[in-house]
Amino acid sequence: MEYEIKGTPLPVVICHLKKGESLVCDSGAMAWMDPTLNMETTTNGGMGKAFGRMFSGETFFMNRYTAMADGKIAFSSSFPGEIRAYDIAPGKELIVQKSSFLACEETVDRAIHFRKRASAGFFGGEGFIMNKFSGQGKLFVEIDGSAVEYELAAGQKIIVDTGYVALMDATCTLEIQSVAGLKNKLFGGEGFFNTVVTGPGRVLLQTMPISTLANSILALVPNK
């Protein structure tokens, strides 16, 4: 499969499939396609995985697009930012914020990833559940705003405001750290908790989470 990423600040990935190749995505993610592609709505992995996706706030059904002859299909971002492609392989698994998933090859396995501590979900901003991608194939993700990438050494940590972690290598761990000091909590404007990512591995941060933008707009709406 070949692909091209076009457009800014609302990018689109256009995938060129050869006969027999398939891509899967959440329902409603396709932007346009050639008539040579066939769509099939599926639970993609069985009812267990489908209910897991629904529990995490994702769509119950997924769409599989298969090329009956050579053709193209496009998936567009839902928010100004970037689209990035990653090669998933054994030893190269990724943990991705659930809202960042765009599409992937059918040979990539998407599973629900629970954090070790419940506090990471209740206070971490990215949600209690993320997605883990394994298997073999291409994965496309969308980033809110611009992307900044860091490579963390073993034991190296980075403290991140909640909501800014887009994805990380499965070798990284993520925990929640309370902001020190009552005055900092109440008047610092950063909330009560920060996210701490520990290496080894890569972490990708996004500069404008859609949740942060929504809260900023909401603060400007007059109370009635």
3-class state of residue 210 by DSSP = helix
71 has a pLDDT exceeding 80: yes
Supply the pTM of this predicted model: 0.82
Q: What is the pLDDT of residues 95-144, one digit of tens each?
A: 998 889 999 999 999 988 765 554 444 444 444 578 999 999 999 999 99
- The SS3 of residue 154 is coil
pLDDT tens digit string along 215-224? Answer: 667 777 777 5
Window from 26-30, 61-65, 74-78, 122-126 with minimum mean pLDDT:
122-126
Token pair for 152: 């963390």
- State the pLDDT at residue 120: 46
Burial class of residue 170, CB neighbours in 10 A (0-12, 13-18, 19+): middle
Domain for residue 223, yes or no? no
The answer as to whether 224 is a domain residue is no
Q: What residues contact residue 58 under an 8 Å CB cut-off, 6+ apart?
A: 26, 98, 101
Burial of 201 from C-beta contacts in 10 A (0-12 / 13-18 / 19+):
buried
Number of domains in the chain: 1
Q: How far apart are CA 77 and CA 9, in angstroms?
A: 9
| 212, pLDDT greater than 60 | yes
The verdict on whether omega for the bond into residue 90 sits within 30 degrees of 0, i.e. cis, is: no
Domain interval for residue 204:
2-218
> According to the model, what pLDDT value does residue 179 have?
65
Residue 184 sits at φ, ψ, to 5 deg, of -65, -40
Residue 155 to residue 178: CA distance in whole angstroms = 19
Comparing 59-63, 85-89, 103-107, 211-215, which segment has the lowest mean pLDDT?
211-215
pLDDT at residue number 157: 97
Tell me what pLDDT residue 126 has. 47
CATH classification at residue 38: 3.60.160.10
